Amino acid sequence: MKKKIALIFGVTGQDGAYLSRFLLKKNYKVFGVKRRSSIINTQRIDDIYRDINLKSDFVLLYGDLTDSSSISHLIKKTKPNEIYNLAAQSHVKVSFEVPEYSADVNSLGTLRILDAIKNLNLEKKIKFYQAGTSEMFGRTKEKFQNEKTQFYPASPYGVSKCFAHWITVNYREAYNIFACNGILFNHESPIRGETFVTRKIIQGLIRIKNGNQKKLFLGNLYSKRDWGHAKDYVEAMWKMLQQKKPDDYVIGTGKTFTIKEFANRAAKKIGFKIKWIGKGINEKAVDIANNKVLIECKKRYFRPVEVDYLKGNAQKAKKILKWSPKNSIDNLIDEMIEHELKNPS
């Protein structure tokens, strides 16, 4: 049987790496789009090349979401059955520093792919996945957020993803494109970017344990996040594109924890006994064994405006996609710690 072809924008990212492996195991041919960087940044996917069973169906090509001609060229060249748009300037705090660039990649980049699909009008009907985010709910007051919850984004990143969401809906309705929005809550893994809070906490605490770092500096300890495992979430992306009709789905665990709770769980598993002292910016975690300060807060890690509370209701995905998360927050932390211990940074 002819292999299905997938084209992944953002293949070098966390989700791109998990999705590539997932699709290759499902017997797809995978074309991954990487952008030019001054040093090689394919660490997350290098092991696919070393895997004799996977490497022949995995091809990397250059492209960039800010370059329409590269997008059209890639689609024409690869003739995909499915396109996954995972490429983004995905860091919320950084989006306040590079707002225009974040909008260019995240909003216009999505439009550029959709417009290329529309204009190329290939014989094959291409299915399109857009990587939406719980950050679109932003400052909502809803206790659980689902597909019907109103968006109230609280960062250039969140706003840029709302454009991407609505342009995906618009092209679906206007041009009958099979386009789906996944509205994914935070998902993490051992290969999560090092400046996102979960990886930063685990990496920092292990470095302190090994004597390679003195303290860990964090921002807001009291925002709440619904954290899942990236491995589970890429399966949901694929499932959305296997349905008869295109639609939008929330993907989350339905559980939420503060950053402080995450840090407490991680610290305990790594072997620290900690106590918290002080308030506000002066709040600190102290190692009970030696009274040394392990965690401190720093103003530079706070955002101009915070998304305080996120908790997903993925009932629609459960019912239609038959999807539910397989990993708990404790599995996730255990796996991240194990990886960090084996690959100390």
Active-site residue, 78 included = no
Catalytic residue among 82, 84, 135, 309: 135
Ranges assigned E (strand) in 103-189: 127-133, 178-184, 187-188
Please give the Cα distance from 57 to 27 (Å, whole number).
Answer: 8
Mapped onto helix, strand or coil, the DSSP state of residue 5 is strand
User: Residue 139 Cβ, how far from ligand F7E at the closest point, in Å?
Assistant: 12
- Helix axis angle, 259-270 relative to 329-342, nearest 10°? 50
Looking at the Cβ atoms of 78 and 89, the one nearer to ligand NAP is 89
Please give the Cα distance from 63 to 90 (Å, whole number).
Answer: 18
How does DSSP assign 289-306, residue by residue? Answer: TT--EEEEE-GGGS-SS-
User: Residue 180 Cβ, how far from ligand NAP at the closest point, in Å?
Assistant: 13
Which residues within the stretch 50-69 sit at the binding site for ligand F7E (CB under 6 A)? none
Q: Is 198 in the site for ligand NAP (CB under 6 A)?
A: no
From ligand NAP, ligand F7E, none, which one binds at residue 164 (CB under 5 to 8 Å depending on kind)? none
Q: Is 229 in the site for ligand NAP (CB under 6 A)?
A: no
Closest CA to 314 of 258, 235, 244: 235
Catalytic residue among 12, 78, 110, 133: 133
Structure tokens at 127: 């299915």
User: Residue 251's CB: how many other CB atoms inside 10 A?
Assistant: 29
Q: Is 101 in the site for ligand F7E (CB under 6 A)?
A: no
Active-site residue, 133 included = yes
- Give the residue, chosen from 42, 219, 257, 258, that forms a contact with ligand F7E under the rule CB under 6 A: 219
Active-site residue, 135 included = yes
Which residues within the stretch 283-342 sit at the binding site for ligand F7E (CB under 6 A)? 301, 303, 306
Residue with tokens 């995995």: 58
Looking at the Cβ atoms of 24 and 286, the one nearer to ligand NAP is 24
Please give the Cα distance from 227 to 297 (Å, whole number).
Answer: 22
- Give the residue, chosen from 5, 6, 7, 14, that forms a contact with ligand NAP under the rule CB under 6 A: 14
Q: Is 170 in the site for ligand F7E (CB under 6 A)?
A: no
Q: Is 95 in the site for ligand NAP (CB under 6 A)?
A: no
Cα–Cα distances in Å, from 259 out to 43, 132, 223, 302, 340? 27, 22, 6, 13, 19
What length is written for the chain?
345
Closest CA to 317 of 224, 251, 263: 251
Site string for ligand NAP, 105-134 (x = CB under 6 A): x-------------------------x-x-
Please give the Cα distance from 116 to 209 (Å, whole number).
Answer: 50
Where on the chain is the footprint of ligand NAP (CB under 6 A)? 9-10, 12-16, 35, 37, 41, 64-66, 86-90, 105, 131, 133, 184, 186-187, 193
Where on the chain is the footprint of ligand F7E (CB under 6 A)? 90, 92-93, 133-135, 185-186, 195-197, 200, 218-220, 223, 225, 259, 301, 303, 306
Point out the residues that are catalytic. Answer: 133, 135, 157
